[in-house]
Amino acid sequence: MTYTADKQREYSRAEVANHDNSESLWVIRGNQVFDLTNFHTDHPGGSDMLLQFAGQDITEAMRNSSIHTHEIHAYRVLKDFYIGNVMADDHQNYPEAPGGIDEMDCVPKEEFLDLNKPLFMQMWRSKFTKKFYLQEVHRAHHLPEPAVFFANPFLETFTRTPWYVIPIYWVPIIITLLVLGAKYEPPNVMMVGFMFGIVSWTLTEYSIHRFIFHYDENLPEGTLAQCAHFLLHGVHHYLPMDPLRLVMPPALSTFLGVLILGIMCCVFTPGMIHAVSAGLGTGYVLYDECHYWLHHGTSSNKHLCQLKTYHLRHHYKDFKAGFGITSDFWDNVFGTQFTSSA
């Protein structure tokens, strides 16, 4: 089978075997060749696991649940990295797939969006049912470059946010809040408010992710609702490794921040408002930077690796659970932790 008509090149197994490192990582699956160089650091099972099979045939390894469980979504992702076929002389016969049908043949035909065209106008002109939309938007895809939202370059700029913009934008605001608050409260009171704000952010993070970003089942029918959902969070599940859409654009985070500040003005006194706001802002910056790392970072630290696996499980296996990003604490409190060991 061939996934992209213009990719008919053939490779020998020896040629593939030469691409056996992080700088050039190719694999064979079912006599087809895939270039995973730009994916191994994003692999939900960790980069090291994928590097073990660099330059090798992974057909049976993907079926071996003792190594790493792979479901149909994994084959859909693999499909995005197809570059050609193994030469006929090097073809290998494989044992029959479980169920008698090759996993690649089970990947549903793409009927959602064309990733080679601007995404927003496709969504705007769509007539998807809610059921179809939610099903398709939670099927992860990968692109070598950031996706294009708008054909207009000016509008496109506002949809892209590099990770470093977040601290550049928010840290001066946080410092200003602390300086202004110090005019009303002594340092010890400011510290208490600041720490309360950081701790409160963990619940805020969980709540926004669960009840706003994943307003899935309650989403109204209709294109307008789907466009809003897609822009707010849907695209992140559709393209989870797009590096320019992993942190919240300042315009959106500022809007949410003003809403939260308005609520706090009804609860806290001057000084304490500043301290708690600064704590919430600090928690948010740490959250957004952590979120970016969970998608693109690597570490030998066991806790960080577990956190990365936990979050990517939300993307690749069960988007209806695992809403905590920096911690699974609130998932355990509210019973939204993953229930399956798969």
Q: Could you tell me which residues come within 8 angstroms of residue 191 by beta carbon, excluding any fewer than 6 positions away? A: 275
- Give the whole-angstrom CA distance, residue 108 versus residue 254: 39
Which residue's entry shows tokens 């709540």?
207
Residue 70 assigned to a binding site: yes
Q: What is the identity of the amino acid at 189?
A: V
Question: And the tokens for 203?
Answer: 């619940």
Please name which of 78, 340, 122 lies closest in space to residue 230, comparing C-alpha atoms. 122
> Helices then strands (H, E): number in the chain?
16, 5
Residue 314 assigned to a binding site: yes
Q: Which residues pair with 57 in a beta bridge?
A: 28
Residue 233 assigned to a binding site: yes
**In what helix (H) or strand (E) does residue 20 lie, and over which residues does it extend?**
strand 20-21
- Give the whole-angstrom CA distance, residue 206 versus residue 27: 38
- Give the whole-angstrom CA distance, residue 70 versus residue 91: 23
Helix pair 302-316, 272-296: axis angle to 10 deg: 80
Q: Could you tell me which residues come within 8 angstroms of residue 95 by beta carbon, excluding any fewer than 6 positions away? A: 60
Question: And the tokens for 89?
Answer: 């002389």
User: Helices marked H in the chain — which ranges?
Assistant: 13-17, 47-51, 59-63, 72-79, 103-106, 119-124, 130-137, 153-157, 165-181, 187-207, 223-229, 235-238, 250-264, 272-296, 302-316, 329-334
- Give the whole-angstrom CA distance, residue 135 versus residue 132: 5
Residue 43 assigned to a binding site: yes
By CB neighbour count within 10 A (0-12 exposed, 13-18 middle, 19+ buried), where does 323 fall?
A: buried
Residue 237 assigned to a binding site: yes
Binding-site members are 43, 70, 209, 214, 233, 236-237, 291, 295, 311, 314-315
Binding-site members for heme are 43, 70
Binding-site members for Zn(2+) are 209, 214, 233, 236-237, 291, 295, 311, 314-315
